[in-house]
Chains A and B, each alone.
Chain A
Amino acid sequence: MRISEWKNILDEKGCFEALSELLERIEKSELNAYITVCREEALRLAKEYDRGNLKGKLAGIPVAVKDNITTKGIRTTCASRMLLNYVPVFDAHVVERLKAEGAIIIGKTNMDEFGMGTTTETSYFGVVRNPYDLSRVAGGSSGGSAAAIANDEAVLALGSDTGGSIRCPASFCGIYGLKPTYGLVSRYGLIPYANSLEQIGPMAESIEDLALLLEVIAGKDERDSTNSGKSFLFRKERVERIGVIKNMDASEEIMKRFYDVMSNFEYEEIDLPSLKYALASYYIIAMSEASSNLARYDGVRYGHFSPVLTSWSDYYSRVRAEGFGTEVKRRIMLGTYALSAGYYGKYYLKALRARTLIIEDFRKAFAKFDVLISPTMPSLPFRIGEIKDPLTMYRMDVNTVPVNLAGLPALNVPIGFVKGLPVGMQVIGNHFEENKLLSFAKMVEEIL
């Protein structure tokens, strides 16, 4: 549902009534999009809206927040047993911004555990189902946020994207999802997985709604030392030089749909040779950073704990064995391996060198092009349980991880359906050129 449609409903029946119906829809839903629904607080705010006391750019609009984004007084689990009962005592920067603009946080959305996955199948709370086919996944890791938008269980949503976690589920659920330029949106309060790669970003059913949400969450925050201090304002920009990345991967049926849409534009094809290193580089860096970040879960200050206090090493190892799921363990261990004595040079440092090459390829490409285009996902949404082998699953991120390595913004644009399932196009821009992505998305929208 678009903001404009929601506003019509608000005018017609008031926020309390509209929100009650939305909550009922969530309750009856089979998608499993939410981990926690903030029923009482949402209805309280709805009443405030109806009394004219809720003001701001997002006044009265229900927003879903991914459950790795910290919300004061609202359980924040990262879809992990480790944080099953964790109730933060502060708000993330983006949550402060939502509240300041009158948004109604409707709930916390389901995801892959700590963001580690492409399907939400690693969630402790079970998989999120695809609104277009309940036997298929909604994509991940921000699967709950995407499914909630697509099924009208929220009007706007926040996700986070470390290697495609906004764009993949946006593609699988047929909505818009943007991974902003690294440093545009403060990460303060985003529970970390891989700091040098991840960003919080907006998800919505229309380009204008997505842009509005980005305007609200972008901007200066000194609590994130990698924050650029830049703000964002949506305006149309000319997009003339369009490049299609030739060496990105997708199935034949997706490629056909992709080139059908692209045939409406004048474009050139371009090869980015270093992309062949992207997947390996991404996984080594993400796992290494994860192994360090997730060391904080010690069963003492917060999170899962064990009733018997033994020696430190034994206690710590046991708490983590119980609290983390298999994929999280796999990544912590591989990251530990990549950083350990004797392997740092072979894996971690090599991955950082590959990162330089990839950045360089993009830099050259953007000297020539305004935007670079590819299919977002190499495949249509998978069946639940279809992919069992971890490496096969990792390969599904092949088109989305390069931009995280280079810190670039990238947008999923829905471009129709194949066999009744949504297909997405990835639009990549140069640093802080989000407006070019959105402007190109408008051009695509017009021809569809």
Chain B
Amino acid sequence: MVSIEDVYHVSRLAKLMITEEEAEKFRKEFEEILSYFDILDEISEDVHPTFNVLSISNVFREDAEKDGLSQSEALLNSPRKEEGYFLGPKVVE
């Protein structure tokens, strides 16, 4: 069972504002989708999880300096900027 509170809880965790209408629609859909996922319950805990299919690990490169983006390039797509910085919302209340 997925409650409407569950949906709002997840929307807060995911930082997604949702409308009442969306919440009710998602509640029904999530219930159906999550119950489909229950098929995985029959898998034993003894099976190791696979995080990545490649067997490669620890790919290193030379710790050498390289050119990155210039300040103006980095700021190009920002809607708000000030004196070469991104201007964001207030973080500390």
Residue ranges of A at the interface with B (Cβ–Cβ < 8 Å): 85-87, 89-90, 182-183, 196, 222, 225-226, 228, 276-277, 279-281, 283-284, 291, 295, 298-303, 305, 309-318, 320-321, 324, 326, 329-330, 332-334, 336-337, 340, 346-347, 349-357, 359, 389-391, 394, 405-407
Contact = CB atoms under 8 A, between A and B. Distances in A.
Interface residues of B, number: 52
Interface string B16-58: 1110001000100110111011011101110111111110100
Contact of B89 (A311, A336, A406): A311
Contact of A280 (B17, B36, B78, B88): B36
B85 to A, nearest CB: 11
Interface of B: 6-7, 10-18, 22, 26, 29-30, 32-34, 36-37, 39-41, 43-45, 47-54, 56, 59, 61, 69, 73-74, 76-80, 86-91, 93
B14 A353 contact: no
B40 A332 contact: no
A228 B86 contact: no
A192 B34 CA distance: 24
Contact of B39 (A276, A295, A346, A353): A276
B33 A391 contact: yes
Q: Among the interface residues B6, B32, B43, B80, which one has the most CB atoms of the partner chain A within 10 A?
A: B43
A290 B72 CA distance: 29
B17 A318 contact: yes
A291 B54 contact: no
A269 B10 CA distance: 44
Contact of B40 (A182, A281, A299, A334): A281
Nearest to B7: A333
Contact of B32 (A316, A356, A391): A391
B59 A225 contact: yes
B47 A226 contact: no
Contact of A316 (B36, B45, B59, B89): B89
Given A277-B43, A302-B77, A333-B26, A407 B54 contact: yes
A422 to B, nearest CB: 29
B56 to A, nearest CB: 7
11 contacts: A87-B77, A226-B52, A226-B56, A281-B40, A284-B37, A332-B16, A333-B16, A334-B33, A340-B13, A347-B37, A359-B50
A315 B89 contact: yes
A269 B51 CA distance: 30
Given A276-B39, A305-B80, A312-B91, 13 more contacts: A89-B74, A89-B77, A301-B77, A302-B78, A309-B90, A321-B17, A329-B16, A333-B14, A333-B30, A340-B10, A349-B49, A350-B43, A390-B29
A298 B91 CA distance: 13
Given A283-B37, A321-B18, A329-B16, A406 B77 contact: no
Given A320-B17, A330-B26, A334-B30, A353 B43 contact: yes
